Structure 1
Amino acid sequence: MQNNKQNSLREGTLFSFISASFKGISQVILIENAITGFIILIAITISSYYLGIIALLSSILGTLVGKIGGADEKSINQGLLGYNSVLTGIALALFLNGPYMWIVALAGSAVAAILTAAIMHFMKKTEIPILTFPFIILTWFILLASYKLKGIKLSTTLVPQDLTHWELNIAGEINLLDGIFNGIGQVFFLSDAISGILIFIAVFWAGRRFGFYAIIGNAIALLTSYFLGGEHTLIMLGLYGYNAILTILAVSAVFYSKHNRFAPLSGIIAACLTVPITAAISTWLLPYGLPALTMPFVLCSWLFLGSRRILPKL
């Protein structure tokens, strides 16, 4: 009888750990749902099997760091120690080269969980969610370290550019279907239509409200970037869409009060703002050869979520 209880306890603990790891993937898009995380993992793996492996291992490492470190079980089970690790692992796997790339990517994903815990502590009193800020800061620092450390090699896709010779290229037509599906795919650095469709399915699985907001956020980004004269290549790649999707989900669907009638409008305005902020941050980072990542999403979400402490009806 005792052995049966011990086996049941182990099975329950293992299931809980696996569920938390999948939620670590789903929490990237602010959703706590293991099935959603599993579908997203399939979408990543279809686009790139090695990115799928990195994403899963990174989430497991983030969750494991939380377990070993004695984090609150609720936070671990919600996947809150895993999502920054997932993004960090994927980003480093994409933007670094060399024989140590896997080691650096997985080590970075483990450190991301520690940094997540630290920033959660520092921001606890503000009641403002940390979102993907730990992932952004850690990834930028590791990519910059590659200029001084021989063991960390930067990918040729990231090249510092001189702003004095920068030219805006708005030539060519826009394929809206590419922009639609790449927008949500770029949350996980994917530019693949099938993967984008699967991620939309994953979001709708968690709730129709999440799915509709994701569609609205993507549409807003496409329209705003087009009318502001954004580069057509960047629009089609979804590089203006993913921050808008995350922002409208945060402001209108996740961190809002049921008594706030203006939350949908606030989310729409915030999603619009991500476009010029994405352009500004991308320009600011050109001399360093760094990607904007999800910083526009973090800044726009903090702007509205922070203002609600003073303007609760916003």
Structure 2
Amino acid sequence: MRSNVSDLPLGTLRGVSQVDFQSDWRTAICFIVALFAGGWQFGVFGLLGTVVATLTAWFLGASGPRLAGGLEGFNGTLIGVALVLYFDARWITVLLVVIGAIMGSVLTSALNAMLTPHNLPTFTAPFCAVTTVMLVGGPSYARVWHGRSLAASPSAAHPGSSVTFSDLWQGLLNGIGQVFFQGTWYVGLIFLIGLAFAGWMVAVAAVISSAVGMVVAILLGAQAADIGAGLYGYNAVLTGIALCGTFVVPTALGLVYALAGAVSATVLSAFVGDLFEPVGGHTLTWPFVLVTWIFLGAVPVLAGLRRVST
């Protein structure tokens, strides 16, 4: 069933909050405020990606429920935010976001067709694929790269594994904000407030998962500056939210399962970052996507776990 045009505004709004699996309009408003608090360019380009992806899906005849629920827009949101972060706010970036959001929309439909028989969502895989391609290919195009250099992690300027109290409390919030590439603690706090509107369990899952990511990173000896920036928390946050009540029933065993998923996503973050180091080390949300696909794929054959009914 094709969506009515009147469904598009709310569907676009929900596209922003669906990055964290939420459809509450209050959550979406908080997320948009958070993006603009991080910088006008993140708000503008994030919304541009959301709008283009949603309109593309509508134009091509995507189903009404998916459009109205924001499920066709959230990859566009992340594409917009990521590309303006890496390529700056320029006219060429506007073009890249439009092209990327269209590509992401088509890829979302393709992956949805392939994964639905296995009861697996697309998650942010379209965003990861499109953004990785553009980041890897960017240096080959002078107008795109424009003299930029490969981005360095915070630890490049501040090496060392001695974690301070400031690293801990800021890293806890930054782990939530880094889902949208935001590394300022108060922006992460606004995102957390938005998650609280969606439900206390969602907010608690985000905080605990971010903490798990930090603890694992500290125990393994990761760089303190990267921990404080939230770079080891955000994939754990997405994985924790996904496996704790969103897609898996939060029984006692289910909570342990979600915890294991958050740990796994954190460990995989370093692997993905090192794998992509020759092209800037852009981990994106690949660890979350891969880990959560595996953990959800295993649920049907694990008698102690149950998927949430949809």
Superposition TM-score, scaled by structure 1 size: 0.88
| Alignment partner of 1:62 is 2:77 | no
CA distance, structure 1, for counterparts of residue 211 and residue 63 of structure 2: 38
Deviation at 1:190, TM superposition (A): 0.6
Cα distance 1:157–1:180, how it changes in 2: closer, same or farther (>3 A)?
farther
Q: In terms of mean alpha carbon deviation, does 212-221 or 90-99 score higher?
A: 90-99
Alignment match of 1:138 (pick from 130, 142, 148): 130
CA distance, structure 2, for counterparts of residue 95 and residue 145 of structure 1: 12
| Alignment partner of 1:240 is 2:232 | yes
CA distance, structure 2, for counterparts of residue 66 and residue 16 of structure 1: 13
Deviation at 1:262, TM superposition (A): 1.5
| Alignment partner of 1:158 is 2:150 | yes
Contact 1:174 1:232 in 2 (8 A): no
Cα distance 1:232–1:297, how it changes in 2: closer, same or farther (>3 A)?
same
Cα distance 1:208–1:154, how it changes in 2: closer, same or farther (>3 A)?
farther
Deviation at 1:261, TM superposition (A): 4.3
CA distance, structure 1, for counterparts of residue 69 and residue 201 of structure 2: 20
Contact 1:25 1:40 in 2 (8 A): yes
Q: Rg bigger for which structure?
A: 1
Alignment match of 1:35 (pick from 26, 32, 41): 26
> What code does the residue aligned with 1:288 have?
V
| Percentage identity across paired residues of the two chains | 27
CA distance, structure 2, for counterparts of residue 180 and residue 154 of structure 1: 34
Can you give the 5+ residue segments of structure 1 that lack an aligned partner in the other structure?
1-11, 162-167
Can you give the 5+ residue segments of structure 2 that lack an aligned partner in the other structure?
154-158, 306-310
- Tell me the equivalent position of 2:84: 93
Deviation at 1:14, TM superposition (A): 6.1
| Alignment partner of 1:180 is 2:163 | no
Q: In terms of mean alpha carbon deviation, does 118-127 or 171-180 score higher?
A: 171-180
Deviation at 1:154, TM superposition (A): 6.8
Superposed CA RMSD in Å reads 2.2
Over residues 26-65 of structure 1, what are the superposed CA-to-partner deviations in whole Å (9 max), with x where a residue is unaligned?
A: 0001112222111100011011011101111211111111
CA distance, structure 1, for counterparts of residue 64 and residue 91 of structure 2: 36
When the two structures are aligned, how many residues end up with a matched partner? 297
Contact 2:253 2:304 in 1 (8 A): yes
Cα distance 1:61–1:99, how it changes in 2: closer, same or farther (>3 A)?
closer
Contact 1:88 1:108 in 2 (8 A): yes
Q: In terms of mean alpha carbon deviation, does 99-108 or 241-250 score higher?
A: 99-108
Instruction: Give the secondary-structure state (helix, strand or coil) at the position aligned to 2:140.
Output: coil
- Tell me the equivalent position of 1:4: none
CA distance, structure 2, for counterparts of residue 35 and residue 172 of structure 1: 35
Cα distance 1:171–1:154, how it changes in 2: closer, same or farther (>3 A)?
farther
Superposition TM-score, scaled by structure 2 size: 0.89
CA distance, structure 2, for counterparts of residue 157 and residue 211 of structure 1: 36
Give structure 1 regions of 4+ aligned residues with deviation exceeding 4 angstroms: 12-15
Q: In terms of mean alpha carbon deviation, does 144-153 or 110-119 score higher?
A: 144-153
CA distance, structure 1, for counterparts of residue 183 and residue 211 of structure 2: 17
Q: In terms of mean alpha carbon deviation, does 146-155 or 122-131 score higher?
A: 146-155
Alignment match of 1:47 (pick from 38, 51, 54): 38
Over residues 180-210 of structure 1, what are the superposed CA-to-partner deviations in whole Å (9 max), with x where a residue is unaligned?
A: 1111010111111221111100000011110
CA distance, structure 1, for counterparts of residue 162 and residue 148 of structure 2: 24
Deviation at 1:112, TM superposition (A): 1.1
- Tell me the equivalent position of 1:82: 73
Cα distance 1:154–1:290, how it changes in 2: closer, same or farther (>3 A)?
farther
- Tell me the equivalent position of 2:308: none
